[in-house]
């Protein structure tokens, strides 16, 4: 299952098809953008095995500098992405695809501390079953409390994420 109406919160049990979909979409992106100057990562909960998630594939793209992100907009629009701007999340260009939303792209400058934090958190959850289970319980509770408020759902996960990252640093 893929897709969720914008701003709605619903968690789906983990699916191996999420990783397959990421690789499929990554190939499309690589055909549109200059591959030698970018890196593409699967981020977010769909990148964590055995973790329930909103069924939206989150993709991070690293570009050499932030301004280079502007040159990617038209190419990503050609494969169905809608540019949502720079002010949705800090220090990134943000894109969505589909209605309901099936994919999100977070386009970062290489070396972005926000991207590095996401990669560390993803890798940690993939390695630590106890933390993954604790995070999943939190997400399930928040998804029930915030069914129609994605921003609040995301914001209320922040303390857990920051605590994990503090311990990792």
Tell me the average confidence (pLDDT) per consecutive run of 10 residues in the chain, 169 residues long.
78 95 97 87 97 96 90 95 85 92 95 94 98 97 92 93 94
Among 1, 22, 21, 19, CA closest to 10: 1
How high is the pLDDT of residue 1?
A: 62
Residues 6+ positions from 41 with CB-CB distance below 8 Å = 47, 59, 60, 61, 62, 115, 119
Class in CATH terms, 17-168: alpha beta
Which neighbouring-strand residues pair with 101? 4
Q: Token pair 């934090």 is at which residue?
A: 117
**pLDDT tens track for 120-153:** 999 999 999 999 999 999 999 999 999 999 889 9
What pTM, to 2 d.p., does this model score? 0.93
């Amino acid at each position: 299952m893929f897709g969720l109406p914008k701003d709605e919160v619903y968690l789906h049990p983990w699916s191996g098809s999420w990783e397959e979909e990421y690789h499929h979409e990554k190939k499309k992106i690589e055909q549109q953008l200059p591959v030698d100057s970018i890196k593409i990562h699967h981020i977010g909960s769909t990148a964590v095995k055995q973790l329930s998630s909103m069924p939206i594939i989150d993709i991070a793209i690293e570009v050499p500098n932030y301004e280079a992100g502007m040159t990617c907009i038209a190419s990503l629009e050609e494969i169905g992405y809608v540019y949502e701007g720079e002010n949705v999340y800090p220090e990134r260009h943000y894109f969505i695809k589909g209605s309901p939303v099936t994919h999100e792209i977070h386009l970062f400058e290489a070396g972005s501390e926000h991207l590095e934090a996401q990669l560390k958190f993803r890798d940690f959850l993939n390695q630590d079953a106890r933390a993954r289970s604790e995070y999943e319980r939190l997400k399930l509770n928040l998804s029930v409390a915030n069914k129609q408020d994605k921003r609040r759902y995301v914001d209320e996960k922040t303390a857990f994420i920051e605590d994990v990252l503090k311990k990792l640093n």
